[in-house]
Amino acid sequence: MTNRVTRISGSGSYLPDRILTNDELAAQIDTSDAWIRERTGIAQRHIAAEGQTTSDLGVEAARRALDDAGLTIADIDLIVVATTTPDFVFPSTATVIQARLGMDHGAAFDVQAVCSGFVYALSVTDALLKTGQHKRALLIGAETMSRILNWEDRSTCVLFGDGAGAWVLSAEEASPEAADRQPGVIGSYLRSDGRLKELLHTTGGPSSTRSSGYLVMQGNAVFRHAVVNISEAMTTLMRQHGLTGEDVDWFVPHQANQRILEAVAKRLGIASGKVISTVANHGNTSAASVPLAFDVAVQDGRIKRGDLCLLEALGGGLTWGSALVRY
Ligand code: UT7
C-alpha cells in the first residue's frame, strides 16, 4: 500500500452554455449586480438547459479529462462521482455515467458530501487506488444546483451555478523520493459536524417529504464556520506533511465567496497571486467547483506539472476538508 502513489493523469471540465448574469437576476428578484459582486464576488453563473442533467455535465467533463490524459474508457476501472444533485435517487449518477461512457467493467458509485464532495471523493478514490483494488479512476464532481434552488429566495439563488469537473487518477509505483516531493495525492483531511445541519440543508428528501426540497442557508453563520474550519483543515493537513503556506504553489479553494477565499488565504499566509478564483464566472457549483477551478488554471497555463496545490471545501452537513496534491 505504501509503495503506490495516486497521480493526476488528466483534467477536464464542462459548463452549460447558458450564462445567467446578476442583472438578469435583478430583473426578477429584489437584488442588484452591485450587492452580489460586493458580498460574494459573483458576476455570473452557468445554468443547465431544460432536460440537461448532472450526468450530461459529468460525461462531458469526463471525456475531456480522458482526452487530456491520452486514455480511453477502456483504461478506467473505477468511476466516483461527487454530487448533491443526482439524476435519480437511484441508480447512482456514477453508474449512469459508466453506461453513457460505454464502460462494461469495473465499479462506479456516488459520494454525497455536498460542496465538500470532491475533496471527500478524492480521499476515498485515493485510498482505493492505493490498496491496489483499482488501477485507474475517473473522479467527477458534477452538479445542477439550479434544480434545488428556491428562485424566489434572494439569499441563496444568486449564489449557485451548474457545472462539472473531472480528473483521471492513476495508481503508479512511487519513486524513492519523499512522498510530498513526487507528483500525486499527498494527503487529505476530512471533517464533519452533523449538529450544524440547520445552517445549510434542503427542506426535503425522499424519506422525509418524498421530494428533494429546496436549499436553505443561514449565510453569515456558514461564512463564519467556513473561514474558521477551512483554515483549521488546511493548517492541520500542512502541518502533518511539514509544509507551510509558503510551500504551496497554488491554492484551489471551493468557490463559495471571494471574501472567504481571501480571508482563508490571508490566515494561511498564501499570497493572493497564488489563489485560483473562478467564483466571478461560475458562482458556487458545489462539488464541481474545485475541479472546475483547477481545470481553468491548468488550461490557462498557471498550474503546471510538479506544482503543489492545496484544495479545500466546506458544505452542508456541515462537512469540510482539505487535500494536498502535486500535479
Ligand atoms: O458552499 C457552501 C458554503 N457556503 C458558503 O460558504 C456561503 C457563506 N455565506 C456567504 O457567502 C454570505 O454570508 C452571503 C453571501 C450568503 C451573504 O452575505 P452577508 O454579508 O453574510 O449578508 P447577510 O446574509 O448578513 O445579509 C445582509 C443583508 C440582509 O439585509 P438586512 O437584514 O441587513 O436588511 C439581507 O436580507 O443583505 C440582504 N440580502 C440581499 N440583498 C440584496 C441577502 N441576499 C441579498 C441579495 N441581494 N441577493
List, for residues 44-64, the tens digit of each pLDDT value.
999 999 999 999 999 999 999
Per-residue pLDDT of 102-129, as tens digits, reads 999 999 999 999 999 999 999 999 999 9
Instruction: Name the β-bridge partners of 315.
Output: 319
Report pTM: 0.97
| Whole-angstrom distance, CA of residue 122 vs CA of residue 2 | 17
Handedness of CA 37, 222, 80, 136 (dihedral sign): positive
| pLDDT classification of 67: cutoffs 50, 70, 90 | very high
* Of 67, 80, 106, 17, the residue nearest 287 (C-alpha): 80
| Whole-angstrom distance, CA of residue 219 vs CA of residue 222 | 5
Instruction: Name the β-bridge partners of 160.
Output: 284
Per-residue pLDDT of 298-317, as tens digits, reads 999 999 999 999 999 999 99
Quote the pLDDT of residue 1: 47
- DSSP SS3 for 223: helix
Per-residue pLDDT of 26-48, as tens digits, reads 999 999 999 999 999 999 999 99
Active-site pick, 115, 201, 257, 282: 115
- The arithmetic mean of pLDDT across residues 201-223, rounded, is 97
Quote the pLDDT of residue 179: 75
| Mean pLDDT taken over the chain | 97
- How many CB atoms sit inside 10 A of residue 260's CB? 23
Please report the domains of the chain, with CATH numbers, ordered by start residue. Answer: 4-173 (3.40.47.10), 184-326 (3.40.47.10)
Instruction: Name the β-bridge partners of 6.
Output: 171
Q: What is the whole-number distance in angstroms between the Cα of residue 232 and the centre of ligand 1?
A: 23
- How many CB atoms sit inside 10 A of residue 202's CB? 18
Per-residue pLDDT of 159-205, as tens digits, reads 999 999 999 999 999 887 777 788 999 999 999 999 999 999 999 99
Residue 281 bears catalytic tag: no
| pLDDT classification of 236: cutoffs 50, 70, 90 | very high
Give counts: helices (H), strands (E), the chain. Answer: 10, 13
Quote the pLDDT of residue 176: 78
- The arithmetic mean of pLDDT across residues 11-35, rounded, is 98
| pLDDT classification of 290: cutoffs 50, 70, 90 | very high
84 Cβ below 6 A of ligand 1: no
Q: CA dist 36 to 46, 95, 278, Å? A: 15, 37, 15
For residue 294, pLDDT over 80 is answered with yes
- The arithmetic mean of pLDDT across residues 288-292, rounded, is 98
Residue nearest to atom 44 of ligand 1 (CA): 155
**Do 283 and 255 meet the contact criterion of CB atoms below 8 Å apart?**
yes
Quote the pLDDT of residue 2: 56
289 Cβ below 6 A of ligand 1: no
What's the N-to-C CA distance of the chain in angstroms?
A: 21
Residues making up the chain, counted from first to last: 327
Task: For residue 218, give the C-alpha cell.
Answer: 443561514
**Do 326 and 184 meet the contact criterion of CB atoms below 8 Å apart?**
yes
CB neighbour list of residue 96: distance below 8 Å, 6 or more residues apart: 55, 87, 88
